[in-house]
Amino acid sequence: MVVDVQGHWDEKYAPVIEAFIQNIESGKDLGASFCVTQDGETVVDIWGGWLDPEKSKPWQEDTIVNVFSTTKTMAALSCLLLADRGDLDLYEPVVNFWPEFGQNGKEEIATRHVLSHTAGLPGLDVMVGEAMLYDHDKICELLAAQKPWWEPGTKSGYHAFTQGYLLGEVVRRKTGRSLGKFFHEEIAAPLGVDFYIGTPPEQDHKVAPLWPPEDPAHHMLMGEAPYTSMPGRVGRSPAIDSNWARTVPWRRAEIPAGGGHGNARAVAEIHAILANKGMAKGQRFMSEEGPMRIFDVQYEGDDLVFMKPAKFGMGFGLNGEKTPVGLNPHICYWGGWGGSLARIDLDEQTTVSYVMNQMRHRGLEAVDPRVAALMGGMLAAG
- Catalytic residue numbers, as ranges: 69
Helices (H) and strands (E) in the chain, counts: 12, 14
Pairing verdict, β 195-196 and 31-38: unpaired
What is the number of residues in the chain?
382
**List of residues 6+ apart from 134 with CB closer than 8 A:** 249, 250, 252, 253, 255
The answer to whether the bond into 58 is cis (omega within 30° of 0) is: no
CA distances to 87, 148, 243, 247, 307 from 252, in Å: 28, 30, 15, 9, 33
Taking the C-alpha atoms of residue 57 and residue 78, their distance in angstroms, rounded to an integer, is: 34
Taking the C-alpha atoms of residue 1 and residue 361, their distance in angstroms, rounded to an integer, is: 24
Taking the C-alpha atoms of residue 379 and residue 382, their distance in angstroms, rounded to an integer, is: 5
At 279 the three-state DSSP class reads strand
Radius of gyration of the chain (CA): 19
